[in-house]
Amino acid sequence: MQKEIKHVEATESSTNSSVAASDKQRGVYVRTFGCQMNVHDSHKILQLLSREGYQPVQTPEEADVILVNTCSVREKPEHKVLSTVGSFRELKENNPELVIGVGGCFARQEGDVLLRKAPLADLIFGPDNIPELPGMLQRLYEKRKPVVEVAFDKADDVRFLDVEPQAGSSDLTAMVTIMKGCDKYCSFCIVPYVRGRERYRSAHEIVEEVERLCSNGVREVQLLGQSVTSYRWQDGEETWELARLLRAVDKVPGLERLRFTSPYPRDFKPELVACYDGSVPTLCEHVHLPFQSGSNEILYRMNRRHTREQYFEWVANLRKISPNITVTSDVIVGFPGETEEDFAQTLDLIEQVRFDQLYSYKYSPRPRTPARKKEQFTEEEKTDRLYRLQDLQNRISKEKNEALVGTIQEVLVEGPSRKGGGQLTGRSRGNKSVNFLGNPALIGSLVNVKITEGFHNSLMGDCLGAVEKDAQ
Ligand code: SF4
């Protein structure tokens, strides 16, 4: 039976943890490492603490509380986390009242050991402990002793924090968490150990959160979960899987675009593929489908539970139902035991699938994962394979973007382009970055852009004006 999963209003603990009694509002600064889940968690931390009377600030120098939200998926970000915390030494020496907290996956992985590794830290919290942060800070101020909370939610008390629309916010896009954790145990991945087993959020809460966001101007929503395609919610006799949830969210008034990440390819069932046939109009024509390796032997050792042949079939099914769908993916090079032949199979898969974009990583041994015990490649060997793979993908990405020259793309205009020169930037439904010259008044609207140039990671075009939608 599905255990009850608690929806937590961000104001829940306001009475005992407010900073209203302090002389001034305490400033809080959050530095984020890692994935979109962490970016979203940091957003929630700031919202939660703002409601408790803290004031988000832009620099560590302005802060009374510095929180570092960490990642442990690879080794490099861990080193960066420790050096980042160390970089606040002078601030702490000048202001002994300054609180330094470390949260997220690395905090969950290390627990109170982190107090030794990062001696400036006085607050350690895991990803499930964000709702407790106001109370933890209060305890710290009262008892003046480090506070550590890294336990997962109890099975009968799983908490999801809503992101509330901010008054006057101009956010066009929002992320909504629909599940936590992962049960897949890929042999290279630390996520099941630091984010816990899969726990799902009520479909009704998810739809309500999207409704609130859209009624405040959000136009694009991304549903988030570590293995989002495994979403499953039992409501009495009724079973909700991701396909049904997408169809329900699609009907929310004001929603223009719907995305989800990150999927587990095996869970891409026919009902989910069918959502791309145009019957879920807000669902964007983009799928992120991690393949990790093109070699069946390596896929087996990774415990991915699929073959390259199945992967080809899944991509073919998606392209059959949605011919213009963009396909992006994740790949790891230098997994223990990956021969030159295995690596050639990965390059071959990339050539055959022709991804629009690829996120490529060197294998990094992670604590508690089975693959860490195997013989490892040197950094030079992994780097060599990574560069060869990226050269191939850069060529393909550029060719695919050049092939879009002359097409008209619907773009949600997000703001001024970093390229300057009066250019605006936004994303196509296929999740490509599109730049064009345009009036800033267009920010927040959907426009049609005729593509004039394709680069390896963006498109350039001419704005044709606002998209006209049929009256509902
Ligand atoms: S499915 Fe993704 S999150 Fe889950 S163990 Fe595998 S790589 Fe990690």
CATH of the domain at 415: 2.40.50.140
| Ligand 1 atom nearest residue 185's Cα | 5
Pocket of ligand 1, beta carbon within 6 A = 182, 184-186, 189, 191-192, 226-227, 264
Q: 398: which residues sit within 8 A by CB, 6+ positions away?
A: 454, 455, 456
- Answer with the residue of higher pLDDT: 391 or 74: 391
Q: Note whether 122 and 189 are same-domain residues.
A: no
Count other Cβ atoms within 10 Å, centred on residue 142: 8
Confidence label for 166 from pLDDT (cuts 50, 70 and 90): low
User: What integer is the mean pLDDT of 202-225?
Assistant: 95
* Burial of 167 (C-beta count, 10 Å sphere; 0-12/13-18/19+): exposed
User: What integer is the mean pLDDT of 415-433?
Assistant: 95
Last residue of a domain, one of 403, 428, 457: 403
**Is the predicted pLDDT of residue 435 greater than 90, yes or no?**
yes
Give the pLDDT score at 6.
60
* Burial of 436 (C-beta count, 10 Å sphere; 0-12/13-18/19+): buried
**Is the predicted pLDDT of residue 2 greater than 90, yes or no?**
no
Mutate to test the pocket of ligand 1, among 38, 184, 288, 361 (most ligand atoms within 8 A of CB): 184
In a domain, 365, yes or no: yes
**Residues 46-66 pLDDT 10s:** 999 999 999 999 999 999 999
Structure tokens at 217: 């101007």
Cα gap 133→12, rounded to integer Å: 12
**Exposure of 419 in the CB half-sphere (CA atoms within 13 A):** 16
For residues 456 and 398, the answer to whether their CB atoms sit within 8 Å is yes
For residues 285 and 325, the answer to whether their CB atoms sit within 8 Å is yes
Residue carrying the six token digits 């400036």: 120
Secondary structure element (H or E) that encloses residue 459, with its range: strand 459-466
Q: Note whether 17 and 140 are same-domain residues.
A: yes
Q: Note whether 455 and 354 are same-domain residues.
A: no
Q: Note whether 29 and 140 are same-domain residues.
A: yes
In a domain, 337, yes or no: yes
Confidence label for 379 from pLDDT (cuts 50, 70 and 90): very high
| Ligand 1 atom nearest residue 292's Cα | 7
Cα gap 317→385, rounded to integer Å: 30
Instruction: Please compute Rg for the chain using Cα positions.
Output: 23
**Residues 274-286 pLDDT 10s:** 999 999 999 999 9
Confidence label for 161 from pLDDT (cuts 50, 70 and 90): confident
Mutate to test the pocket of ligand 1, among 35, 105, 179, 182 (most ligand atoms within 8 A of CB): 182
Residue 183 Cα to ligand 1 middle (Å): 8
**Is the predicted pLDDT of residue 16 greater than 70, yes or no?**
no
Residue 108 Cα to ligand 1 middle (Å): 17
Q: Note whether 368 and 449 are same-domain residues.
A: no
Q: What is the pTM of this model?
A: 0.90
Cα gap 245→2, rounded to integer Å: 17
**Is the predicted pLDDT of residue 24 greater than 80, yes or no?**
no
For residues 401 and 416, the answer to whether their CB atoms sit within 8 Å is no
In a domain, 388, yes or no: yes
Last residue of a domain, one of 284, 319, 348: 284
The SS3 assignment for 281 reads: coil
Cα gap 299→210, rounded to integer Å: 36
Q: Note whether 178 and 277 are same-domain residues.
A: yes
Residue 370 Cα to ligand 1 middle (Å): 13
Give the pLDDT score at 20.
44
The SS3 assignment for 230 reads: helix
**Exposure of 265 in the CB half-sphere (CA atoms within 13 A):** 28
Let me know the angle formed at the C-alpha of 267 by 266 and 270, rounded to the nearest 5 degrees.
Answer: 105
Give the pLDDT score at 472.
45
Q: Note whether 297 and 267 are same-domain residues.
A: no
Give the pLDDT score at 323.
97
| Ligand 1 atom nearest residue 183's Cα | 4
The domain that contains 32 carries what CATH number?
3.40.50.280
The SS3 assignment for 119 reads: coil
**Is the predicted pLDDT of residue 363 greater than 60, yes or no?**
yes
Residue 215 Cα to ligand 1 middle (Å): 34
Q: Quick check: bond before 42 cis, omega within 30?
A: no
The domain that contains 342 carries what CATH number?
3.30.750.200
Cα gap 39→152, rounded to integer Å: 19
In a domain, 471, yes or no: no
| Ligand 1 atom nearest residue 195's Cα | 3
In a domain, 199, yes or no: yes
Closest C-alpha residue for ligand 1 atom 8: 189
In a domain, 66, yes or no: yes
Question: What range does the domain containing 42 cover?
Answer: 10-149
Last residue of a domain, one of 252, 284, 316: 284
What is the number of domains present in the chain? Answer: 4
The domain that contains 268 carries what CATH number?
3.30.750.210
- Answer with the residue of higher pLDDT: 20 or 129: 129
Give the pLDDT score at 7.
56
Residue 442 Cα to ligand 1 middle (Å): 39
Q: Note whether 215 and 278 are same-domain residues.
A: yes
Q: Look over the chain and give the mean of its residue pLDDT values, rounded to a whole number.
A: 91
Give the pLDDT score at 54.
95
User: What integer is the mean pLDDT of 78-89?
Assistant: 92
Q: Note whether 169 and 257 are same-domain residues.
A: yes
Give the pLDDT score at 21.
43
In a domain, 157, yes or no: no
In a domain, 4, yes or no: no
Q: Note whether 299 and 392 are same-domain residues.
A: yes
Q: Note whether 38 and 132 are same-domain residues.
A: yes
Residue 322 Cα to ligand 1 middle (Å): 26
Q: Note whether 303 and 397 are same-domain residues.
A: yes
